[in-house]
Amino acid sequence: KAGVTQTPRYLIKTRGQQVTLSCSPISGHRSVSWYQQTPGQGLQFLFEYFSETQRNKGNFPGRFSGRQFSNSRSEMNVSTLELGDSALYLCASMFGYSGTQETQYFGPGTRLLVL
Amino acid sequence: DAKTTQPNSMESNEEEPVHLPCNHSTISGTDYIHWYRQLPSQGPEYVIHGLTSNVNNRMASLAIAEDRKSSTLILHRATLRDAAVYYCNHTGTASKLTFGTGTRLQVTL
């Protein structure tokens, strides 16, 4: 079974631009969560989608948004990029949703650099 | 939000046991405790999880305190391949999927 895939793997943008990242979960998984990872900040939760509905949202500004499609693939969008948005963006999939004992399976991440 | 506290870093000699602690004082009765680790240049990977009882698998053991406000990940014989950042978290219906800053484990010969 293929793992979680994320595209693109690397991205360079300039301030003020917007970016869309994509995540394909493990086949059969219905939940996708997104995280931002920066040096010294650990994994910061962005949001969780289950069956096309956002279930949970972290403490990030409205510039960060996401969606999930009927095939469980998910995208996250960051508008009006700032230098501080430079980070590794990770997505993780589960069959169920948070609140269960299920394990998350992480993708390799998209490394975004904002210049 | 769920909050966990872990030491920033720990060191171990190869072939020695390692005990990685985690405090999760905001845990609720139905939250599961998960541990993940992140090897360099990779996304996190699952290590172990539990609810109340201690758990063992081929990678590690998980010891959960009686009040569930803390847990310890035990690597019985650390190897160089275990050098990673280890994260604990707890998830439940009322808690979001939050992770702390993790513990960076260094393993030396």
Neighbours of B30 (CB within 10 A): 15
- Best residue of A98, A110, A111 to probe chain B, by most B CBs closer than 10 Å: A98
What pLDDT, on the 0 to 100 scale, is given for residue B29? Answer: 82
A11: tokens are 């991205």
Residue B96 in this model has a pLDDT that exceeds 60: no
Which residues of A are less than 8 Å from B101 in CB distance? 40-42
Cβ–Cβ contact B79 with A under 8 A: no
Give the mean pLDDT of chain A. Answer: 93
Interchain proximity B97–A33, CB inside 8 Å: yes
Share of chain A above pLDDT 70, in %: 97
Interchain proximity A101–B32, CB inside 8 Å: yes
What Å distances lie between residue B39 and A48, A68, B15, B77, CA to CA? 24, 28, 19, 17
Cβ–Cβ contact A107 with B under 8 A: yes
Identify residue A85 by its one-letter amino acid code.
D
Average pLDDT over residues A82-88: 96
Residues B7-30 have pLDDT tens digits of 999 999 999 999 999 998 888 888
What pLDDT, on the 0 to 100 scale, is given for residue A50? Answer: 92
Half-sphere exposure of A25 (CA within 13 A, CB side): 29
- Best residue of A37, A103, A105 to probe chain B, by most B CBs closer than 10 Å: A103
When pLDDT is cut at 50, 70 and 90, the band that residue B95 belongs to is low
When pLDDT is cut at 50, 70 and 90, the band that residue A2 belongs to is confident
Share of chain B above pLDDT 90, in %: 68
Cβ–Cβ contact B6 with A under 8 A: no
Nearest to A43 among B49, B87, B91 (CB): B87
